[in-house]
Amino acid sequence: MAYRAPVRDIRFILDHVVGFAEVAATPRFQHATPDLAEAILDEAGRLCSDVLAPMNRVGDVTPARLENGVVVSPPGFAEGYRAIAEGGWVGMAARPEHGGMGLPISLALSVDEMMSGACLALHLKPLLSKGQIEALEHHAGPEIRALYLPKLTSGEWSGTMNLTEPQAGTDVGALRTKAVPNGDGTYAVTGQKIFITWGDSDLTANVCHLVLARLPDGGPGTKGISLFMVPKFLPDAEGRPGARNSLRVVSLEHKLGIHGSPTCVMQFEGATGWLVGEPHKGMAAMFTMMNNARLSVAAQGVGLAEAALQKALAYARDRRQGATPLSADGTILDHADVRRMLATMRAEVFAARAIALSCAKAIDMATATGAAEWQARAALLTPIAKAHCTDIACQVAHQGVQVHGGMGFIEETGAAQFLRDARILPIYEGTNGVQAMDLVGRKMADGGEAAFRLIDEVQRGAEAARARLPDLAGEVWAAAEALREGTEAMVALPLNDRFAGAVPYLRAFARVLGAGAHLKAALAEDDREALARVMIRRILPEHAALLAEAREGAAGLYAVGSDDLAA
């Protein structure tokens, strides 16, 4: 069975769980009517199911390659990218003054999910352009915006971000790339960057690199870093790609997955660049792009999990293996353990999708209203969505292989590709450990106030469900109360003790949010109750063990010495 975009589930969550109508009721997004939203999701679903999905396997078995210094894309990727660009999908959330649609992030993220489920390797290209568009909209000067944004929004040009260097990963402040003024308003950028997704391409007329580098007077660490636009081809006076810039692809990384997406080692050798934003304030500008990318990576996780689930379900419906409790010659779907795996996978995907779209809604409401409470909620939910949705992608893809049994270990079935492709997502855009530390650190600098508001909301939803679903409502309310107590304990801990328990705390938070989403769904539609019971009765109980681990602190970890870790 080929991937089919889950339009119905996305629309249900937007309408009945997230409350997208509140976004469409704002003056900023009043054009995002129900009819328009339905049309966009339906059309994107057709594109993903019929055009992009067939390329997923092609990109895996026929990877991108480097020939004579130029990246050659997998067969069919050019046609797929053209369909994305010509359909206006790159500029969905971009501002209309530069050719964008100005639509809410909630809708754009829904499309991101479907495209990622259809063909993640290809979707990474427009995804990075979207992040660059947002960074330029917020931080670039008028000349750069006027030149680059229309080209990026139309998909004629594409964008990248260049942060990582061999010695500077999470510690971006250790970078060595330099930018020296040329005396004419431009800068000569010199250095090497690694892990640059779609750092080169034969799909677009130009590739626009946002590069972090240090000016001669830039101090040490992240506070001395500036951001530069460094295009592959230097635009001429009319904005057309002209002379080749002094940059090149040194090599492509040999990766576990996403083979169709070229991950480049880039060398800049006095390449001409233009400053974006203020000198020494590059990290603030780049974080705009990174935060955009973090939520988009969450959508990638949901999309991949959905695709892995669809493949596993199709196999389970078809594979006959012995007598089952329901039939003398049934399919493996009738076996209790296989049903357990698939029901758990579906419950996990639903919960992850709801968390990602809740974060998107918070961003939309913050944009539309400027309210501090929505801004705080968006900030809190971003690391939860990024980390949890990508962890779930790996978990669901792993279970997908297990459902296939021995056939899942055979590459020809395609189940293994989802597991290989998913594994990068918990690493992308700040590892999930970094996301968890961000949650318990900077995002709780308010003493947990934003977290408590979210917990209050889950409990109000549980109270509203008590009359119809008293047992499920009670369990969700109690879990939210345990999360409240765990949050109070976490806020009281010294920072490094928080960090030691950050990952289980984030997962516990996501468990409670996911259960609350399922409870809302069951109230809205009776057919959703069975899945809600899987989430609340079988998965939610993890929260207690996770919160116990979160409180444990760091001392026990440091008591384990390096010799204890050796064989």
pLDDT for 468-494, tens place per residue? 999 999 999 999 999 999 999 999 999
pLDDT of residue 1: 60
Task: Supply the mean pLDDT for the chain.
Answer: 96
Mean pLDDT, range 66-74, rounded to an integer: 95
Domain 7-152 and domain 159-284, same fold? Reply is no
Max CA pair span of the chain = 82
The answer to whether 179 and 187 are in contact (CB under 8 A) is yes
Return the active site residues. Answer: 429
Dihedral sign (CA 372, 376, 382, 385): negative
Q: Which CATH number fits domain 431-556: 1.10.3470, 3.30.479, 1.20.120, 2.30.30?
A: 1.20.120
Q: Cβ neighbours of residue 427 under 8 Å, at least 6 residues apart?
A: none
Q: CB atoms < 10 A from the CB of 322, how many?
A: 10
pLDDT tens per residue across span 220-253 = 888 899 999 999 999 987 889 999 999 999 999 9
pLDDT of residue 285: 80
Report how far residue 60's alpha carbon sits from residue 62's, in angstroms, rounded to the nearest whole number.
Answer: 6
Mean pLDDT, range 390-401, rounded to an integer: 98
Q: What proportion of the chain, given as a percentage, has pLDDT over 90?
A: 92
Is 328's pLDDT higher than 80? no
Q: Which CATH number fits domain 159-284: 1.10.150.120, 3.30.43.10, 3.90.660.10, 2.40.110.20?
A: 2.40.110.20
Is 289's pLDDT higher than 80? no
Mean pLDDT, range 527-548, rounded to an integer: 98
Report how far residue 57's alpha carbon sits from residue 434's, in angstroms, rounded to the nearest whole number.
Answer: 32
288: confidence class by pLDDT, cuts 50, 70, 90: confident
Report how far residue 218's alpha carbon sits from residue 213's, in angstroms, rounded to the nearest whole number.
Answer: 9
pLDDT tens per residue across span 188-203 = 999 999 999 999 999 9
324: confidence class by pLDDT, cuts 50, 70, 90: confident
Beta strands at 233-235 and 241-244: parallel, antiparallel or unpaired: antiparallel
Report the chain's terminal Cα–Cα distance, integer Å. 45
pLDDT of residue 429: 87
pLDDT of residue 162: 94
- Which has the higher per-residue pLDDT, 271 or 326? 271
Report how far residue 266's alpha carbon sits from residue 192's, in angstroms, rounded to the nearest whole number.
Answer: 6
Mean pLDDT, range 50-75, rounded to an integer: 96
439: confidence class by pLDDT, cuts 50, 70, 90: very high
The answer to whether 113 and 303 are in contact (CB under 8 A) is yes
Q: What proportion of the chain, given as a percentage, has pLDDT over 70?
A: 100
Is 173's pLDDT higher than 90? no
409: confidence class by pLDDT, cuts 50, 70, 90: very high
Provide the b/e sequence for 79-102 (b: ≥16 CB within 10 Å). Answer: ebbeebbeebbbbbbbbeebbbbb
pLDDT tens per residue across span 118-154 = 999 999 999 999 999 999 999 999 999 999 999 999 9
CATH class of residue range 7-152: mainly alpha
Domain boundaries defined on the chain: 7-152, 159-284, 431-556
pLDDT of residue 438: 97
Q: Is 120 exposed, middle or buried (0-12, 13-18, 19+ CB in 10 A)?
A: buried
Q: Give SS3 for 420.
A: helix
Is 522's pLDDT higher than 80? yes
